[in-house]
Amino acid sequence: MVLLGLALPLPVQSQSLEIPMRLSFEEAHRIFLERNPDLQVARARADEQSYEAQALGLWPNPSLSVQRNQVNVPGGLGSENTVALVQSLRYPGEYRARRAAASSATAASSARYEETAAALYEELRVQYTAALAAQQRLGVLQSMTDAVRRAVQIGDVRLEEGDIGPFQRSRLRVALATYEDELAAAQRAYRDTRIELVYFLAPSSHAEHHDAEEALLTLTDALRYRPLDLDYAALVEMALAQRGRVRSAEAALRRQEETVRAERYARLPDLALTAGYRGETRPGLTASGVTVGLEVGLPIFHQRQPQVRAARAARQAARHAMDISRRAVELSVHEAYESLTSYQHRISRITGEVLVQSDQLLDDALYIYEEGEIGLVELLDAVEATKTARLLQINLIEQHNLARYAMDRALGVGPRDSSPIE
């Protein structure tokens, strides 16, 4: 395992954010689950869609009508009172189909939420890793700038001793200015990535985030490289079985199939059961009784053929959407697999002798430059080689981690799931 960890002496100021100034990924994960607005919106929309789907599968409510009529009749005034309860009926098969369609719609909304949550979780990991890599790069460039600054001090001494000329001293100062400029750019990148991370976790007022910016939020984790032993065929099978996008498409297809069945029943006559009380009063006469009736709709002008055809077309579209989703998931697994294997191969080539030699190279170069055994060009070449090697290691490990997150996303790993590839 390769471990990159740098302790940077960053100032911490008092601020009003609930986000701690020393932030681990575990803590960032907790805050994300509690406060990220995108995740909360996705959860609320999933609930909304689920309740709407359940409403479509409910038995229709009855309707109540109350009437009172008064008429003039021979001998006085008569009245007629009617109370009726009307209940729309559904054929047993239609009711089961609509209930099944509602259940499938609920499953689809839940799967869509899981897909959105997995995407947001990947974004959290990407942003935290970006800030972490920026922190590591800042440490490397700080070390390189300190080394060049030390070389400038040595050069001043050698200039007084006559070992080097003014031109070499000026070249050292130009090199120092260049590294200080790179360091300033790294500090800005580090600041930007942390502020983006804070806003992603829990957006709040501008003043609070300004405090976080000034406080220089420190990340406590380290970039880690873990080589993975992957089985491509097993990964594809796993992704197709548990990815939210595929399960949502499958549930949507089941819903459309049940909708087609329900629409076929809707071609039959509509039925409604009527039951009630009727009372009539005339001068010298009072009568009352109950009424029971069956209302039958007459499909004279059409038998809902357009609705049936529309349901069939929607079913066909859902079937194609499911095929598209499966292909897209397979492609995402393939891309993540290729990235992971590529970065693992590239990291294995540089983590051995190359990095060990580059780490020792800078210390040796500063020492022998101070002794006057090498020139300015060799010293600056040693600084640049060390910087390049260390930044290359950070970049490769960062990209490997991003490819690992992409694989987890392809497998449908959400914020409350553990990764199956670790």
Query: How many folded domains does the chain comprise?
Result: 2
Q: How far apart are CA 21 and CA 13, in angstroms?
A: 9
Distance between CA atoms of residues 220 and 239, nearest Å: 32
296 and 402 belong to one structural domain: no
Same domain, 262 and 272: no
Mean pLDDT of the chain: 85
Residue 207 in domain: no
> Domain limits at 324?
97-147+220-266+308-422
pLDDT in tens, 294-343: 888 887 777 778 888 999 999 999 999 999 999 999 999 999 999 999 99
Identify whether residues 237 and 129 lie together within a single domain. Answer: yes
CA dist 150 and 142 (Å) reads 12
pLDDT at residue 353 in the model: 58
Torsion of CA 419, 420, 421, 422, to 10 degrees: 60
Q: What is the mean pLDDT of residues 97-126?
A: 93
Query: Cα separation of 367 and 164, whole Å?
Result: 16
What burial letters (b/e) apply to 6-44, b meaning 16+ CB within 10 Å? beeeeeeeebebebebebebeebbebbeeebeebeebee
Three-state SS at 87:
strand
Instruction: Clarify whether residues 348 and 290 are in a common domain.
Output: no
pLDDT of res. 5: 39
Answer yes or no: is 248 within a domain: yes
Least confident of 102-111, 149-158, 211-220, 355-364: 211-220
Residues 116-133, buried b or exposed e (16+ Cβ, 10 A)? bbbbbbbbbbbbbbbbbb
422 exposed, middle or buried (CB, 10 Å; 0-12, 13-18, 19+)? exposed
> CA 122 to CA 369: how far, in whole Å?
47
Percent with pLDDT over 90 in the chain: 46
Residue 316 lies in a domain: yes
Q: Which residue has the higher pLDDT, 402 or 76?
A: 402
Give the confidence band of 112 by pLDDT, cuts at 50, 70, 90. Answer: very high
Q: Is the pLDDT of residue 384 over 70?
A: yes
In tens, the pLDDT along 215-268 reads 457 888 888 888 899 999 999 999 999 999 999 999 999 999 999 998 888 778
Task: Tell me if 55 is assigned to some domain.
Answer: no
What is the bridge-based pairing of β-strands 76-89 and 271-282? antiparallel
Give CB contacts under 8 A, 24+ apart, made by 184-191.
Answer: 186/134, 186/137, 186/138, 186/141, 187/138, 189/134, 189/137, 189/138, 190/131, 190/134, 190/135, 190/137, 190/138, 191/216
The CATH number that applies at residue 281 is 2.20.200
Is there a contact between 412 and 117 (Cβ–Cβ < 8 Å)?
Answer: no
Residue 101 lies in a domain: yes
Residue 164 lies in a domain: no
Domain presence at residue 398: yes
374 and 278 both lie in a single domain:
no
Residues 280 and 368 in one domain: no
State whether the Cα torsion 410-416-421-422 is positive or negative: positive
Q: How confident is the model at residue 379 (pLDDT cuts 50, 70, 90)?
A: confident
Task: State whether 237 and 355 are in the same domain.
Answer: yes
pLDDT at 10: 36
Residues 387 and 344 in one domain: yes
Residues 240, 360, single domain; the answer is yes
Tell me the torsion sign for CA atoms 232, 234, 236, 242: negative
State pTM to two decimals: 0.80
